[in-house]
Structure 1
Amino acid sequence: MINKIVAIQGNHPSKLNPKTDTSVFLANEIQKKNYRIFYYDPKNLSIINSKVIAEGFFIKFNYSNKKFYKILKKQKLNLIRCKYVLIRQDPPFNLEYISSTFILETLKNKVKIINDPTAIRNISEKLYSAKYQRFMPNTIFTQNIMEIKNFFKKNKHVILKPIHSFSGNDIHLLNKFKLKFIQRLIKKHNYIMCQKYLPKISKGDKRVFLIDGRICGAISRVPKKGSYLSNMSKGATAKKTQLTKFEKNISKLIAKDLKGDQIFFAGIDFIDQKLNGDINVTSPTGLKTLFDISKVNLAKTFWKCLKA
C-alpha cells in the first residue's frame, strides 16, 4: 500500500508568504484527508543505489497559527514511498531545475509527479507561446540587436522580458531603443522576449487557472499605481473577473494542448484580451488569492482531479 505522503519540492517554508502562497494552500487542503506533507529543497535531491532520496522534513501547516508551519521530523525519504510529488520551487529554469527533472523522471512511472518533470523540461514558459502569436501583441524572441532595433522602430513602446526569468523580475518598459542597456540585458540573460506594450495593463491583467485540461477560474491583478507589473509579488491587487468569449476560446485551446503535453496545472495571462505569452507551468500561483476574493477553492479541484 502506498503511504499517504505528498512530497513538495520547493523553497524553504520560511521564504513563503502564507497569505498568497499556492504550495501552502495545496498542502493545507490535502492535510485534511490525512496525508502527511514531506518538504525538501531541490538541492537535497539525490539518486542513491538507484533510489530517489530527498533530505528534508515532515511538516504541518496551520493558517491559524502566527507561525504557519511546524517542522515535525527531519529525515531522508525514499520518494517511492509517496503518493504524489509536487514540483513547486520558484524558477529560474536553470541547470539545477533541469537536473532535478532528470532525477524525478526516473520515478515518474511509480509516483504521480505534478507537473510531469519531462513536460516542464520540454516546455519553455515563454517560448511555448510562440505557436499562439496570432493571439498575442506583436512579439519577438531573440538576442539579435538589429532585430530588436527594428522591432522598436515599429512598436515604439516595448516590454523586454528575459526568456527564463519569473515573477516580474528583470522586466523593463523602454520608450526608445537603448543600445547599451539592451546589450547588458542580453549579456546577462541571452534570449529575451520583446513585446509591444499594452497601456491597458494599468487596468489589470487576467490570470486563468487551468487544471487537467479545463478552465477552472480566473482573477484580475491590477498593478500598483505607476507600475506596469501585475505580479502579486510586485504589489498588484487582485480583483474578481469574468473571461470574455474570446479569452475562453483561447484558454480552452491552450488547456487542451497543455494536457496533451502532460501538463496538469498551469496559469496563463491576458492583457486587454491578448495573451501575454507567459505559460506558467513550473510553479503556477494564485489559487490562495482566488479563494480569498471569491471563496472558490481550486485546491479541492486540484486534488479531486488527481483522485487524492
Structure 2
Amino acid sequence: MTATIKVGVIMDPIADIAYKKDSTLGMLWAAADRNWQLFYLEQPDLYLDNGRAYGLMAPLQVYRDASHWYELGERQARPLADLDVILMRKDPPVDQEFLDATHLLGFAEREGVLVVNPTTALRQCNEKLYAQCFPQCLPPSVVSCNEAVLRAFHAEHHDVIYKPLDGMGGTGIFRVGEDGRNLGAVIEQLTQGGKRQIMVQRYLPEISAGDTRILLIDGEPVPYGLARIPSAGEVRGNLAAGGRGVARDLTERDLWLVEQVKGSIKEQGLIFVGLDVIGDYITEINVTSPTCLREIDDQKGTDIAGQLMDAIEKRLTRA
C-alpha cells in the first residue's frame, strides 16, 4: 500500500500496562517503525450513530522509553471506517461489554476495516471451548455445570484442574487432588451454584516443565514457544500468576499440534493466536489478546510484532 496505514488500537488503559513485557506495546512499536498512524481507544469509546460505527479516538505516539512510553493527542469522534485496521487488544474476561464491542466493530468490518482478530471469531472461539474442537490434542476434559458430572470426572481421574471458561492469567484455577479436599466448595464457587459452565481437565504433571505459549501468525507458528514455569508451590505457569518465562524451540509434537489446528484457524480468519501447551496437549487456544511475544523476542532476537504487521499489510493489500 502506498498511503500511510491508519491503525486503531482498543486496549486496557495504556498508562497501566507493564512496559517491560506488554505485547500490545510491542505491536504499536512495530507499526510506528513503519510510519503507520496510530489511534488509541478504550472499549467504552466505541459507539454507533445512525447505524455507523464511530470511536472517540486519540492520535497516539509510542516510545521505547520506560519512563515515557506514550503520548496521546486530543480525542475526537471519527468513523471507525477512517481506519485501515483495528487491533482489538482488550484483555478478557469476554463479558457482555466485550461482546457488545465486537458487535460494534462488526459495523466497521462491513465498511472494509480489518479487525484483528475478526469479530465473528472473537465471539465464536471461546478460548477454552475452541480447543474442544480438537479432542485428539486435548487431555481428558469435561465442560459442565452439573455437580454430579464434575464430581464423576474427579472420581475417575483423581487429580484434576477446575477452571472458569472466561478467565485469563490463571485466575480462578483450582487443583483438586486425590483426597478431594474442598471439591464441593470449588464446584459451588466456580459454577455459581450450578448456573455457570466450567471446565475440568486431568492434571498434567508436565506443568512443572512449563505451560508453553506457541504463537501463530496467519496459522503459521513462530519457531519458539515461551515455557511459563510455575513458581514454587504453584500449579499455574501464567506469567501473571508469578510464572517464569523461558523461550524454547518447538518440538515435533508441538508442530503436530499446530498442524491439527491451523486449518481451522485460517478458516476462521484468525491472524494472531496463542496455543497453550502442557506436555503433549493443548489446553487452550487464545484468540482475544495473545501475549508473550516480547519475552520471546528478548530471548531469541525475533521480531514477532514485525511479522504480525507484515501479515496485516498483506491482508490489507489483498482486500
Question: Does the 8 Å CA contact 1:215/1:252 hold for their aligned counterparts?
Answer: no
Matched residue, 2:32: 31
Q: CA deviation at 1:265?
A: 0.8
Name the CA distance, whole Å, in 1 between partners of 2:188 and 2:274.
31
Normalised by the length of structure 2, the TM-score is 0.92
One of 105, 130, 133 as aligned partner of 1:131: 133
SS of 2:74's equivalent? strand
Partner residue of 1:266?
273
Tell me, yes or no, if the aligned pair for 1:212 and 1:265 is still in contact at 8 Å: yes
Identical positions, percent? 25
* Distance (Å, rounded) in 1 between the aligned partners of 2:90 and 2:104: 15
Alignment of 1:95-174 (within 5 A): 95-109=96-110, 110-174=112-176
Alignment-mate amino acid for residue 166 of structure 2: H
CA RMSD in angstroms comes to 1.6
Q: How do residues 203-222 of structure 1 correspond to structure 2 at under 5 angstroms?
A: 203-217=209-223, 218-222=225-229
Contact 1:3 1:82 (C-alpha < 8 Å) held by counterparts: no
Provide, for residues 221-243 of structure 1, a one-character-per-residue CA deviation record: whole Å limited to 9, x for no partner: 11112111111111211112122
Q: 2:190 aligns with which of 185, 192, 207?
A: 185
Are residue 255 (structure 1) and residue 262 (structure 2) matched?
yes
Return the alpha-carbon distance in structure 2 between the equivalents of residues 61 and 247 of structure 1.
Answer: 35
Matches within 5 A, 1:287-306: 287-306=293-312
- Please say which of residues 177-186 and 98-107 is displaced more in the overlay: 177-186
Amino acid in structure 1 at the alignment position of 2:184: L
Paired position in structure 1 for 2:246: 239
**Structure-1 residue corresponding to 2:317:** none
- The residue identity in structure 1 corresponding to 2:105 is L
1:76 aligns with 2:77: yes
Residues 246 and 273 of structure 1 are in contact (CA less than 8 Å); yes or no, is this contact kept in structure 2?
A: yes
Local SS of the residue matching 2:104? helix
Contact 1:59 1:73 in 2 (8 A): no
TM-score by length of 1: 0.95
* Alpha-carbon contact 2:141-2:199 (below 8 Å) kept: yes
C-alpha displacement of 1:182 = 1.3
Structure 2: unaligned runs, 5 residues or longer: 315-319
1:61 and 1:68 in contact (8 A); partners too: yes
Counterpart of 2:298 in structure 1: which amino acid?
D
Contact 1:3–1:83 (Cα < 8 Å) also in 2: no
- Given the superposition, is the C-alpha separation of residues 46 and 3 from structure 1 closer, same or farther in structure 2, using an over 3 Å criterion? farther
Contact 1:221–1:239 (8 Å) recurs in 2: yes
Q: Give me the whole-angstrom Cα distance separating, in 1, the residues matched to 2:294 and 2:186.
A: 37
For structure 1, the residue ranges without an aligned partner over 5 or more in a row are none
Q: CA deviation at 1:133?
A: 2.0
Deviates more, 1:100-109 or 1:172-181: 172-181
* Residue 22 of structure 1: how far off its partner (Å): 0.9
1:143-171, Cα deviation, whole Å (9 max, x unpaired): 01001111111111111110111111111
SS at 1:30's partner residue? helix
Length, aligned pairs only:
307
Alignment-derived partner of residue 21 in structure 1 = 22
